[in-house]
Amino acid sequence: MADLRCTGARLALGVLLALGARPALARELKGEGPLDGATLQLTTNFDLRFHEVPDRLAGFEDSNVLNYTEQVLRNNLLISKPGLVVGLQVDEAAFFRNEYYLDDVLQTERPLYADGFLSPFDHALVRLEKVYATKRFGQVELTAGDTYASFGRGIALNLIKNTGIDLDTSIRGARSAFRVGNADFTVVSGLTNPQDVSMFNPNRGITKDQGHMVTGARVEVFDIGKASLGAHGVIYRFARADDVNSAALQRYTEDLDAVAAGATLQLNGVAGIDWFAEGDLVDYRAEEMVGEAEDGRLRGWAGYASAAAYPGKATVLVEGKRTKNTEVMNAFSGAEGWEIVAAPTLEYEMVITEDASATVNSNDVAAGRVRIDYAVVPRKFIPYVSLAGFRDEEVGGEHFNAVPETIGHGIVGWQLLEGRWVFQVNTGYRHDQRDVAEAGADRMAHMDLDLHIPVGEKNALEFTLNGRRFWWGNNPLQQTDFLEMNNAIVWHQGEKWAYILYQDFTNNPIITTDGNLTFIDPSSYGQDRDSLYGAFEVIVHPRPSSTLRLFYGAYKAGIRCAGGQCRTLPGFEGARVTWQSTF
């Protein structure tokens, strides 16, 4: 039988972390000096996950020696006073029960971090993820340390927090923002600093950041009649795999890999319409990006425009974009699981699949979308209709299709609000028609809804349903049509308690996780693995600023998209305790 162990050092660390997982504190600092009268705020997020691993070790088929516990702690410290903000974020992750003896030899099942990190613990890591200070002098704001920047619609630079998919990539360097007359200027320069420790997704084999050099500037001039004009430029030098042990500041002395420049125009209320337009050009110089271009340079460009009108009770939004070779910019950062730029997608992100994500990241796509909302009863009943069209010329890469395709996606829905009643519905159909008839078409029908029913004066019952049916076209490597569902029933007991029953289902063979509900025969859905997932969660708010979540069960892996970025996130089976406390 395997001998599992938890060392004294790890046990001591666990006790220390448990003592540190306290509610957020806010105190006013007393005394003399630059921080006199400042407010100190501490926010703590604690997550403890017990992973049930269905695999069995050869020779130990009757023992769950591969199960393990993962613990994550995130502390954010913020010191603020008028004109000054100082912040830092310290993350910690640890594995417990991650070792076993096999033939009297101690085995480590999974590494928490790769070579290159300094840690006194084999199965624990502490990282100073973010640190910054921001000082304001009248119309001037200076930041040293970790900062963020997004120019225009993010086509040339889009480094922001993306908590929807557990991403947080900052620029560790300096940022200056100042106003002169009716013009705002922003200058930023530094090395990219993606967070190492994931708060909600599994941590495993954490690698050392490469640190890509980013330097950019933007100017926006306001109140030119009804217009605002903007211009920006960004230069990039990306790190290579063999740069991991070299000085990161060396990026500033090396040849540039890419240069991007763009301009924006915004018109408010012209002919009763709000207008926006952006155009960007990119010049790629890195060999890895240029590929087989004859002159040793590759160009990319993008254009985006939108118009919003408000006739009567209606709101009409029209958008269009054309991008060519802009996703090449993510060639280095995309391999690390995040993106440095992100053009507007015009997609309905809740139903993006492995197939649709290829269009999101296409290097040659034109798209348009029209959405009309009509307030039948203002702020109470608002139906809408949306129609999007895409022309995707790229093949290969993430694309399953071997020929270009034309895509149409229509969605209808409504929002109904009456007191504490809420009823929201979105349903649509997507058709990806390949240019060659024999290649067929990918098709998808989908629906999601949220129904909130008040029960008495304080309680409520909530139903959320999300389902999609996908049919593949004819591919060189043929996949199987699939059905997916994500549903939940929630009982809200006042404002303090919530009890949630989750149900996931998928028979998508690309998804590698197994369901935890085995009483349904998976062969009836055309596959040899369990397709149904179930989970239960209790949420309690001891006070409005604090949340405790207790979860047990499983959910499936799959594509998650937010803000134009998509990640394939792993599934989970086991138990987890999450504590969040903020002001």
Residue that finishes a domain, picked among 93, 109, 136: 136
Q: With beta carbons less than 8 A apart as the criterion, state whether 93 and 108 touch.
A: no
Give the per-residue pLDDT at 24: 43
Q: With beta carbons less than 8 A apart as the criterion, state whether 460 and 451 touch.
A: no
Between CA 131 and CA 87 the distance in angstroms is 6
Given its phi and psi angles, is residue 32 left (phi above 0), alpha (psi -120 to 50 degrees) or beta? beta
Range of lowest pLDDT (78-92, 111-125, 347-361)? 111-125
Query: Tell me, what DSSP letter sits at residue 545?
Result: T
Percent of the chain beyond pLDDT 90? 64
Helix locations, 376-532, DSSP H: none
Task: Answer yes or no: do 116 and 159 share one domain.
Answer: no
Give the per-residue pLDDT at 34: 66
Could you tell me which of 288, 326, 342 has the C-alpha nearest to residue 567?
Answer: 342
572 assigned to some structural domain: no
287 assigned to some structural domain: yes
Task: Answer yes or no: do 126 and 224 share one domain.
Answer: no
Residue that finishes a domain, picked among 291, 312, 344: 344
Residue 534's identity, in one-letter code, is G
Higher pLDDT, 105 or 414: 414
Between CA 93 and CA 73 the distance in angstroms is 6
Long-range pairs for 50-55: beta carbons < 8 A, 24 or more residues apart: 50/574, 50/575, 50/576, 51/202, 51/572, 51/573, 51/574, 52/516, 52/554, 52/573, 52/574, 53/573, 54/514, 54/573
270 assigned to some structural domain: yes
472 assigned to some structural domain: no
With a CB cutoff of 8 Å and minimum separation 6, the contacts of 61 are none
Range of lowest pLDDT (205-219, 429-443, 505-519)? 505-519
Residue 295's identity, in one-letter code, is D
Which helix or strand (DSSP H or E) is residue 541 part of? strand 532-543
Give the per-residue pLDDT at 2: 36
With a CB cutoff of 8 Å and minimum separation 6, the contacts of 73 are 17, 20, 21, 44, 45, 46, 47, 91, 92, 93
pLDDT-derived band at 23 (thresholds 50, 70, 90) equals very low
Between CA 331 and CA 315 the distance in angstroms is 38
Percent of the chain beyond pLDDT 70? 90
Residue 235's identity, in one-letter code, is I
Task: Answer yes or no: do 144 and 126 share one domain.
Answer: no
275 assigned to some structural domain: yes
Q: Would you state the structure tokens that stand for residue 560, as one six-digit string?
A: 């998650």
Q: With beta carbons less than 8 A apart as the criterion, state whether 278 and 304 touch.
A: yes
Average the pLDDT over 308-334 and give the result.
95
101 assigned to some structural domain: yes
Task: Answer yes or no: do 146 and 207 share one domain.
Answer: yes
Q: How far apart are the first and last CA of the chain?
A: 48
pTM of the predicted protein model: 0.87
List the beta bridge partners of residue 471. 443
Give the per-residue pLDDT at 4: 36
Task: Answer yes or no: do 125 and 165 share one domain.
Answer: no
Between CA 552 and CA 578 the distance in angstroms is 12
Q: What is the 3-state secondary structure (H, E, C) of 206-230?
A: ECCCCCCEEEEEEEEEEEECCEEEE
CA distances from 187 to 280, 330, 401 (A): 18, 22, 42
Helix, strand, coil distribution of the chain in percent, nearest 5: 10, 55, 35
Per the structure, the count of domains in the chain is 2
Task: Answer yes or no: do 145 and 58 share one domain.
Answer: no
pLDDT-derived band at 32 (thresholds 50, 70, 90) equals low
Task: Answer yes or no: do 64 and 181 share one domain.
Answer: no
List the beta bridge partners of residue 501. 489, 536
Between CA 321 and CA 307 the distance in angstroms is 12
Average the pLDDT over 453-468 and give the result.
95
Give the per-residue pLDDT at 527: 52
280 assigned to some structural domain: yes
pLDDT in tens, 155-170: 999 999 888 888 999 9
Question: Residue 521 pLDDT more than 70?
Answer: no
Give the per-residue pLDDT at 16: 38
Give the per-residue pLDDT at 30: 59
Give the per-residue pLDDT at 164: 80
Query: How many secondary structure helices (H) and strands (E) does the chain include?
Result: 3, 32
Question: Residue 338 pLDDT more than 80?
Answer: yes
Task: Answer yes or no: do 32 and 130 share one domain.
Answer: yes
Residue that finishes a domain, picked among 344, 365, 384: 344
Q: Would you state the structure tokens that stand for residue 381, as one six-digit string?
A: 């009943």
Task: Answer yes or no: do 131 and 158 share one domain.
Answer: no
DSSP for 259-288, please give it: EEEEEEEEEEEETTEEEEEEEEEEEE--HH
pLDDT in tens, 537-548: 999 999 888 999
Give the per-residue pLDDT at 522: 52
Task: Answer yes or no: do 230 and 116 share one domain.
Answer: no
Q: With beta carbons less than 8 A apart as the criterion, state whether 277 and 264 touch.
A: yes
Give the per-residue pLDDT at 6: 40
581 assigned to some structural domain: no
Give the per-residue pLDDT at 351: 92
Range of the domain at 281: 138-192+201-344
Task: Answer yes or no: do 272 and 311 share one domain.
Answer: yes
Q: What is the 3-state secondary structure (H, E, C) of 135-190?
A: EEECCEEEEEEEECEECCCCCCCEECEEHHHCEEEEEEEEEEEEEECCEEEEEEEE
Return the CA Rg of the chain.
26
Question: Residue 331 pLDDT more than 80?
Answer: yes
Question: Residue 504 pLDDT more than 90?
Answer: yes
Give the per-residue pLDDT at 511: 83
Given its phi and psi angles, is residue 245 left (phi above 0), alpha (psi -120 to 50 degrees) or beta? alpha
Give the per-residue pLDDT at 453: 96
Task: Answer yes or no: do 206 and 315 share one domain.
Answer: yes
Q: Kindly state the greatest CA–CA separation across the chain.
A: 80
